[in-house]
Every structure is written in C-alpha cells, then in structure tokens.
C-alpha cells in the first residue's frame, strides 16, 4: 500500500533515497566528531560509550525489525527508519550534554535498525525479476557510488554550516531527513513484496474469531475475555510467526557454505570499526597538530577529509563493481580478504605515525577500501538467500557487526583513556587479524551457486517457513484458555 497515486520506478527511487540520505548524513556527520570533542568535551571512553549505546540499541532492534520487514512491509520499515533517524539527529543537535547524546544514540539505533536490510530487500524484490539476483550486487555498488558523490556535497556544506554553530549540521540534516521520509511515503511503491509469514494473517484472523466468539458468549451470559486477553492472543500469534521466521533464517544461513564464517568476519570488523570511527578524529584533534592555514577551523578540515574520502571511495567501488561483473559474485571472498588486510595495514600506519600527512593518508586509505565491504557482502548474500528471508538475514549480518562494536567499544575506550589513543587504535586493528582468518577459511568453503542447490535451499526454506508460520503446539490450548 502507498499513500500517493504517483509512484516512482524502484531503481531511480532507490538511487534518490541513497543519494538523499548520503547528502543529508554528510551534512550531519562530517563535523560530528568536532561537535563531540569541542562542544561536548568528551574523553575517549565517553566517545566509545556513545558508539556502544548506538550499537546496543541497533543490536536489540535489528532482528525484530528485520523480521517485521519480511512479515509486514519492507516499505513501511524503510520509511519509519528514515523518520526516526531524522528525529535522533535533531535530538542530538539540541544539546552536547553526554546524557542527551547517549539518549539520541539509542533512538538512532532504532532508526538504523528499521532501515537496515529493509531498503536493500525492498529494491531486490522490485528489481530481481528484471535484473536477476546476480545483478543486485551491481545495483548496490552503483547506489554506493552515487551516495559517495552526494556525500561530497553534504560534507562541504557541513563545514560551512558548522561555522555558524557546531550543532547546526545535525539540526539541519535531521530536519531534512524527516522531510525526505514524508516525500518518499507519497511515491514509494511496493508491488512485488510477498510476506514470509503468510500464516500470520490466518493465525491472527483465527485469534480474532475466537475473541469475537468469546464476546458473543458473553452476551449469552458467559464471561468476556477483555481487551488485554484479546491482545495477548494476537501477540501470541505474531510471536509464533516471528519464531518461525527466525528458525527459517537460521537454517538458511547455516545451509550456505562459508556464510557463518563471513558473519564471523563481520563481528571482528565491527570490533575494529568502533575503535576507528570514534577515535580517529580525537587522535587528529588532540595528538596531531593541524597545519596553520589562515586559521582554518577544524570543522572545515573534517569537512574536507569527508569529501576527499567520498571521492576516493567512488573510485574503489567502481573498480569493485567492474571486478564483480567480470568474475561474478562468487569472487567476493578473495575481494573481502584483500580489503580486510589492506584496512588493517592502513590503521597500523595511522596509529604509529606522527606526521599529519601520513595520518591523513592512512585515514584516506581506510576510507577508500571500507565502502566496498558491505555492498560486496550484501550483494553476494542476496543471491543465496531465499527472497522471503532476505531482510531478516541482512539484519542478522548487521547484528554480528553490532555485537562486535558492543564488545569492542568499552574495551578500546578504557585503553584509550588509561593509556593513549594510539594504543587503542592499534588494539582495534588487531581485531582485523581474526577477521581476515574468517574470510580465508570461508573462501575454501564457498562454492559457485548452482540452480539445483538454489532450488533445494528454497524448498527447505519454504518448508521451514510453513512449519514456523503456524502456532506452537501449546498455542491452541492457550488460545482456548484466553477465550
């Protein structure tokens, strides 16, 4: 269902959403570290705790929102996620107090969880029939490229806006994201979505009929179940479908050779990324001196870094897209291994350097390689997971990333506070060693996808979903009790 009567075709709309969000997040995030460090006066531990709060929220909501996208509507989750992200950025820009920043990060985690996986699964539903599943990797990489171009414009604007107030980029970006969500609600179609929980409607309908029958008996002098008990019946029905969806996703993930190891890689990359994302800016601001160029404000320096990183990332994603087109999605493991090792080397170089130029060069090397990781893995994943499980599986991947950040954040924050930020960056880089080992092991298990294998996997997934869509053995009795 859509609110408007003039939908835009899925592919250009997907690119518009990616570009719009990249532009607005570029406005919000390019100078965010300056806002935290200068306006908020946060120490390394507090910086890492902000990330931990975000990832805890993201982790908690990731699987339920992914299942919601598979069971109810991917379009609805995408739109809700955009709106909540906008509200979180407005909240964060309202005050640099640490308590407010923590609360805003918790809200931001919910918004990110709603959007994560749902948007990629939505566009896969709408385009897979035209492009085929293997064509989706190119779509994701192209969207990433356009998003990087938009990030350049947003990051430049962020530095200019921050000169008038370090919180203004957050307030501006958040407000415009809410407007983007409202506009997308009018034009976003959802024509090819097939709910995974087909049994949910039947279960809920049966529960409603039972409650209605109980109300009829009440009119004959019997007891009435009450609104609370009726809600409990409906909740039990929905919960049983969610469990079935989760079981089916687990079976699908385990059935794909090497996928669990790639999820393990995501865990360790998450541990590293938390230390890098929260500390590299503080490292530049506190440990490395900026060149004196006409008193250029740090916000403008960070804006420039973000623009340059986006331009370089555009080139790396284009190379990855061409390589994938030439070699196919089965080449993803070797690509991930090279990227992981390259990122690790760049982070070590940054941590041991004392020169501004070397530190910035190492940072740019990381930002060139890093944007390729997620679209490669997501594009490969959607070719091997049954369509009704895509959003839930993508959410599971993000949960591993969040778990890594939750585990690593406080540890690296303590290291950075008690020792130095350099040592914390090195400790974070050490987590990329196990990540590379997981990718190397996965590369020996991944096999080219065959039609027979895909058909067998889809049949197994459908059987698992059918088994999980109904109520648990005790639910019928429970329904009778509630009635």
pLDDT at residue 127 greater than cutoff 90: no
Count structural domains, the chain.
1
pLDDT of residue 156: 86
For residue 298, give the CATH number of its domain: 1.20.1250.20
pLDDT at residue 468 greater than cutoff 90: no
- Asked whether residue 20 is assigned to any structural domain, the reply reads yes
- Asked whether residue 165 is assigned to any structural domain, the reply reads yes
pLDDT at residue 59 greater than cutoff 50: yes
pLDDT of residue 423: 93
pLDDT tens digits, 185-228: 999 988 877 776 554 444 444 544 544 554 444 444 444 455 55
| 134 vs 80: CA distance, rounded Å | 28
- Asked whether residue 443 is assigned to any structural domain, the reply reads yes
pTM: 0.65
Q: Provide the domain limits for residue 154.
A: 10-194+247-463
pLDDT of residue 193: 77
The pLDDT confidence band at residue 6, using thresholds 50, 70 and 90, is low
Mean pLDDT of 268-274: 89
pLDDT tens digits, 449-459: 544 344 444 44
Mean pLDDT of 250-260: 61
- Asked whether residue 70 is assigned to any structural domain, the reply reads yes
| 302 vs 281: CA distance, rounded Å | 8
The per-residue pLDDT of the chain, averaged, comes to 77
- Asked whether residue 206 is assigned to any structural domain, the reply reads no
Mean pLDDT of 92-105: 95
> In which residue are the tokens 């196990």 written?
434
- Asked whether residue 262 is assigned to any structural domain, the reply reads yes
Joined tokens for residue 436? 């590379």
pLDDT of residue 102: 95
CA dihedral 410, 416, 417, 419 (to 10 degrees): 130
- Asked whether residue 214 is assigned to any structural domain, the reply reads no
DSSP state of 368: H
| 277 vs 421: CA distance, rounded Å | 12
- Asked whether residue 204 is assigned to any structural domain, the reply reads no
Q: E strands, 283-397, where? A: none
Q: What sections of 188-258 are H helices per DSSP?
A: 198-219, 226-255
pLDDT at residue 236 greater than cutoff 50: yes
pLDDT tens digits, 406-417: 888 889 989 988
pLDDT of residue 469: 36
Give percent of the chain with pLDDT exceeding 90. Answer: 23
The pLDDT confidence band at residue 92, using thresholds 50, 70 and 90, is very high
Sign of CA dihedral 393, 395, 396, 401: positive
């Amino acid at each position: 269902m859509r609110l408007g009567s003039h939908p835009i075709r899925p592919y250009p709309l997907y690119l518009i959403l990616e570009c719009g969000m990249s532009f607005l997040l570029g406005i919000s995030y390019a100078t965010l570290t300056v806002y935290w460090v200068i306006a908020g006066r946060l120490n390394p531990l507090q910086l890492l705790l902000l990330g931990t709060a975000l990832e805890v929220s993201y982790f908690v909501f990731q699987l339920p929102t992914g299942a919601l996208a598979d069971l109810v509507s991917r379009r609805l989750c995408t739109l809700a996620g955009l709106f909540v992200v906008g509200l979180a950025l407005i909240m964060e820009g309202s005050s640099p107090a640490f308590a407010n920043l923590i609360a805003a990060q918790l809200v931001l985690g919910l918004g990110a969880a709603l959007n994560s996986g749902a948007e990629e699964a939505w566009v896969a539903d709408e385009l897979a029939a035209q492009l085929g599943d293997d064509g989706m990797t190119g779509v994701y990489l192209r969207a990433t490229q356009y998003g990087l171009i938009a990030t350049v414009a947003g990051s430049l604007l962020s530095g200019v806006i921050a000169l008038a107030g370090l919180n203004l980029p957050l307030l501006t970006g958040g407000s415009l994201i809410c407007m983007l969500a409202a506009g997308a609600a009018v034009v976003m179609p959802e024509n090819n979505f097939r709910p995974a929980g087909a049994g949910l409607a039947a279960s809920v309908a049966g529960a409603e009929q039972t409650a209605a029958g109980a109300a009829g008996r009440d009119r004959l002098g019997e007891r009435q179940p009450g609104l609370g008990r009726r809600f409990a019946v409906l909740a039990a029905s929905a919960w049983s479908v969610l469990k079935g969806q989760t079981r089916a996703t687990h079976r699908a993930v385990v059935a794909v050779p090497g996928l669990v190891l790639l999820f393990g890689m995501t865990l360790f990359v998450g541990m590293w990324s938390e230390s890098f994302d929260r500390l590299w800016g503080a490292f530049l601001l506190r440990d490395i001196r900026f060149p004196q160029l006409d008193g250029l404000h740090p916000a403008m320096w960070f804006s420039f870094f973000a623009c340059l990183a986006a331009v370089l990332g555009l080139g790396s994603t284009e190379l990855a897209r061409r390589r994938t087109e030439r070699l196919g999605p089965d080449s993803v493991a070797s690509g991930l291994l090279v990227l992981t090792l390259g990122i690790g080397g760049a982070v070590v170089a940054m941590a041991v350097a004392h020169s501004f130029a070397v530190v910035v060069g190492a940072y740019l090397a990381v930002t060139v390689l890093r944007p390729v990781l997620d679209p490669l893995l997501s594009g490969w994943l959607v070719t091997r997971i049954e369509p009704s499980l895509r959003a839930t599986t993508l959410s599971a991947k993000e949960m591993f990333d969040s778990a890594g950040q939750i585990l690593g954040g406080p540890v690296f924050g303590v290291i950075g506070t008690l020792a130095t930020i350099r040592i914390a960056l090195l400790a974070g880089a050490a987590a990329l060693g196990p990540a590379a080992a997981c990718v190397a092991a996965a590369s020996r298990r991944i096999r080219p996808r065959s039609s027979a294998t895909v058909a067998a996997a889809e049949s197994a997934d459908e059987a698992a979903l059918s088994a999980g869509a109904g109520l648990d053995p005790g639910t019928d009795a429970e329904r009778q009790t509630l009635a």
